[in-house]
Chain A
């Protein structure tokens, strides 16, 4: 079973509007971390935001926020005031706290975001 599910292969958003990228996860661990990475067309992986399973407040980093709903096991990325430079592939990832192979960072398949001028 997939541990990280991103159901939106591609999305469009108008410049200056907000957009939500969906991510659901599956784990039996109580302790885990959730990450979002951005991959522009140049290919590098850029860390955006992190949420720990015990964090009570949603994480925010500038225009990025993470809508963390623990009971629903969802960790959606919200980008406010979209910019043309936000056009990229976005990956949701999870790291479990149990160590061993389960401590590796596991990625979803990604969502390609296109920002329209």
Chain B
């Protein structure tokens, strides 16, 4: 089954304790992205990657890191989580990016509910 797999689904952690949210897709998609969703703000992009070893900042990158060493994986790293990073996080992928990609939506993972206390 074609899918984007995020882990964990739920995570409660303490301020300052480094964590990684994993994301893996099995569709050979070039493009991957991370979003956070907060009430009243919709989905805001954190980072995206157009291909292996190519990553770029989205709208809210502060406090996050990503890497794209393999095409299928795009982990989100919080080096020192803070309570304002409590949110619902989504990983998404798309066949490709750029001109001509307008008719390609994103396939989303199931989401990760992160609470930082």
Please, which residues of chain B bring their CB within 8 A of the CB of A105?
33, 92, 94, 105-106
Please, which residues of chain A bring their CB within 8 A of the CB of B108?
37, 44-45
Given contacts A96-B102, A98-B99, contact A91 B42 (CB under 8 A): yes
| 5 shortest interchain CB distances as A-B pairs | A99-B98, A33-B102, A45-B108, A109-B42, A107-B43
Please, which residues of chain B bring their CB within 8 A of the CB of A108?
42
A104:B90 contact, CB within 8 angstroms: no
A43:B101 contact, CB within 8 angstroms: no
Q: How many A-B residue contacts, CB cutoff 8 Å?
A: 74
Q: Does B56 contact A (CB under 8 A)?
A: yes
Sample 29 A-B pairs with CB under 8 A, ordered by A number: A31-B99, A33-B102, A35-B105, A37-B108, A43-B88, A43-B110, A45-B92, A45-B108, A47-B106, A91-B42, A91-B43, A93-B105, A95-B101, A95-B105, A96-B102, A97-B99, A97-B102, A99-B98, A99-B99, A100-B98, A101-B58, A103-B98, A104-B48, A104-B58, A105-B92, A105-B106, A107-B35, A107-B43, A110-B42
A31:B42 contact, CB within 8 angstroms: no
Given contacts A35-B105, A45-B90, A98-B99, contact A104 B43 (CB under 8 A): no
Interface on B for A, CB 8 Å cutoff?
33, 35, 40-45, 48, 56, 58, 88, 90, 92, 94, 97-108, 110-111, 113
New A-B pairs, 14, CB < 8 Å, besides A43-B113, A110-B42: A33-B102, A33-B104, A33-B105, A45-B90, A45-B111, A95-B101, A95-B105, A97-B100, A98-B99, A99-B98, A99-B101, A101-B58, A104-B58, A106-B45
Residue of A nearest to B38 (CB): A109
Please, which residues of chain A bring their CB within 8 A of the CB of B101?
95, 97, 99, 103
Within 43-84 of A, Cβ neighbours of B (below 8 Å) are at: 43-45, 47, 50, 52-53
Residue of B nearest to A92 (CB): B42
How far is it, in angstroms, between the C-alpha of A9 and the C-alpha of B39 when the chains are bound?
A: 11
Residue of B nearest to A55 (CB): B103
CB distance from A89 to the nearest CB of B (A): 9
